[in-house]
Amino acid sequence: MRTILVTGGAGFIGSHLVRYLLQQPGVRVVNLDALTYAGELQRLSELEGEPRYVFVHGRIEDEELVAQVCRRYEVEGIINCAAQTHVDRSILRADAFVETNVRGTYALLQVARQQRLRRFLQLSTDEVYGEASEGFRYAEDSPLQPSSPYAATKAAADHLVSAFVRTYGVPAFIVRSCNVYGPYQFPEKLIPMSICNALCDEPIPLYGDGLQRREWLYVEDLCRALWLLYERAEPGRVYNVSSQEERSNLEVVQAILQLLGKPQELIRPVPDRPGHDRRYAMESQRVAALGWRAEVPFAEGLQRTVRWYIEHRPWWERLRAAEYAQYRRQWYEGYLHSGQR
């Protein structure tokens, strides 16, 4: 039996990955998660009683705990999905981002180094490259020019990973993904926020002119890439994972409203967020050379996602009534309109 430590396994991407890994024969998963506002064990409720799955409540910054967990369960490698991920929140305050994304990654790398783990996959983001000009796509060796405090902490973590490879020979590698979407995504992100607001007949705030462009990847496609790379990536390398499904935010929201049969008038232009990158786009030739490509077209993935949110209303209604309600007021009704920078 091989044991893999997935950090942030109660989060959106992490929970899909835990489920995906457990479909692989001979794999046991230890899920270490701090259960912050975005971590939700309910995402994995069907795994109760699964003998190849262990949940540990704790923070990745806690090096001693991570070391204990790795020893106790004879962990062979780490997939680091634990992160503070919401760009807008990092604009309000980035303390938690520095703590989890930078200090946390450092603690995990320390354990990987001390216990000579076999693999270390750092999940990163296209945002570390900064804004991509029209017609240009970032390759893996492009320089890092993060724009938001969030992206800066992810870039810092990427640099730590590279330094640990070069200095200590830790067999780590970095996976940079474009925007991911699908079931169980926290309702603060553009796609679930638009679906949930529309289902509640509430306006959908669109930053600036809404013509910022992102590539959208269905979460199961990302999980396939992560597993393939965990098995086959070369230590020290960076792997971009992108879908080439580039859409403007306006197009995405329009498509959601159309699927739901809701009026386009629900779209509400609001002031742009500061430092907002207009476009991200990546080449992902390295993972393609290993046989991966995105399989779920955007139209199909979006349809599946919309259906899922319609069928799981109690799940997101509970989250929207909790901490998120306060954040929404602070961000949308306060900060964005205050002109405060």
Q: How far is the CB of 236 from ligand DAU (least distance, A)?
A: 22
Q: Which of 212, 213, 202 is nearest to 328 (CA)?
A: 202
263 backbone dihedrals φ, ψ, rounded to 5°: -70, 140
Nearer of residues 29 and 256 to ligand DAU, judged by Cβ: 256
**Among 33, 61, 126, 221, which one carries the catalytic annotation?**
126
Cα dist from 124 to 7, 218, 238, whole Å: 13, 16, 10
Site residues for ligand DAU, 163-182, by CB under 6 A, read 178-179
* CA 234 to centroid of chain Cα atoms: 22
Closest CA to 58 of 84, 75, 39: 39
The least CB distance from residue 178 to ligand DAU, in Å, is 6
Binding window for ligand DAU (CB under 6 A); candidates: 84-92, 162-170, 260-268, 317-325: 84-92
Nearest alpha-carbon partner for 174 in 98, 230, 110, 116: 230
Strand partners, 54: 30
Binding track, positions 179-218, relative to ligand DAU; x by CB under 6 A: x---------xx--x-----------xxx----x-x----
User: Of 21, 44, 66, 87, which lies in the binding site for ligand DAU, with binding defined by CB under 6 A?
Assistant: 87
Q: Measured between alpha carbons, how far is residue 173 from residues 138, 140, 326, 337 in Å?
A: 18, 12, 37, 40
User: What span, in angstroms and rounded, lies between the C-alpha atoms of 33 and 14?
Assistant: 9
CB of 84 to ligand DAU, least distance (A): 9
β-pair type (53-57, 27-33): parallel
| Rounded distance between C-alpha atoms, residue 58 and residue 70, angstroms | 13
CB of 44 or CB of 151, closer to ligand DAU: 151
Q: Among all residues, whose Cβ is closest to ligand DAU?
A: 125
195: left (phi over 0), alpha (psi -120 to 50) or beta: alpha
Provide the total of helices (H) and of strands (E) in the chain, helices listed first.
14, 12
Number of chain positions touching ligand DAU (CB under 6 A): 19
DSSP string, 250-276: HHHHHHHHHHHT--GGGEEEEPPPTT-
Q: Which of residues 288-307 bind ligand DAU (CB under 6 A)?
A: none
Give the shortest CB-165-to-ligand DAU separation in angstroms.
Answer: 22
Among 19, 59, 86, 89, the residue binding ligand DAU under the rule CB under 6 A is 86
Annotated catalytic residue within 138, 150, 230, 335:
150
Considering only residues 248 through 287, tell me which ones interact with ligand DAU, judged by CB under 6 A.
249, 280
Q: Which of residues 108-167 bind ligand DAU (CB under 6 A)?
A: 125-127
Q: Give me the helix-helix angle, 219-232 and 12-22, nearest 10°.
A: 60
Look up 150 and say whether it is catalytic. Answer: yes
Q: Is 317 a catalytic residue?
A: no
- In whole angstroms, the minimum distance from the beta carbon of 190 to ligand DAU comes to 3
Q: How far is the CB of 1 from ligand DAU (least distance, A)?
A: 32
Does 13 bind ligand DAU (CB under 6 A)? Our answer is no
Tokens 């971009």 belong to: 240
Residue type at 214 in one-letter notation: R
Q: Which of 40, 61, 63, 127 is catalytic?
A: 127
Nearer to ligand DAU, 77 or 210 (CB): 210
Catalytic residues: 126-127, 150
Residues in contact with ligand DAU by the rule CB under 6 A: 85-88, 125-127, 178-179, 189-190, 193, 205-207, 212, 214, 249, 280
